[in-house]
Amino acid sequence: MKKLKNEKELVKKAIAAGVKYGEERGVVEFEATDSSSDKIEYIYRLLCHDKIITPLPEDQISQKSMKHRLAIWASKLK
């Protein structure tokens, strides 16, 4: 897994876009007290469920790999 140049910023963008997507879709309501790791996991699983991103094999899922997938997704957003 090759690290992206500005992966931290892309992860932040992905969290913001994912929260907006989930709330607009009406499936989740995030609280201010939710940790970023919880948001990352929920957004990752929601996007996989909706077939927006390709899921990782179950044995390869980790916080780092989910962040990387979300960063790639965010880099393709307008």
Which structure tokens are listed for 55? Answer: 């899921």
pLDDT tens string 36-61? 999 999 999 999 999 999 999 999 99
Q: What is the pLDDT of residue 54?
A: 94
Confidence check: pLDDT of 1 > 80: no
This prediction has a pTM of 0.90
Q: Is 20 within 8 Å of 44 (Cβ atoms)?
A: no
Q: What is the pLDDT of residue 16?
A: 96
Q: Is 42 within 8 Å of 28 (Cβ atoms)?
A: yes
Residue appearing with tokens 């009406």:
26
Which residues make Cβ contacts (< 8 Å) with residue 25, sequence separation at least 6?
A: 46
Confidence check: pLDDT of 2 > 90: no
Q: What is the pLDDT of residue 5?
A: 85
Q: Is 28 within 8 Å of 46 (Cβ atoms)?
A: yes
Which structure tokens are listed for 25? Answer: 């879709």
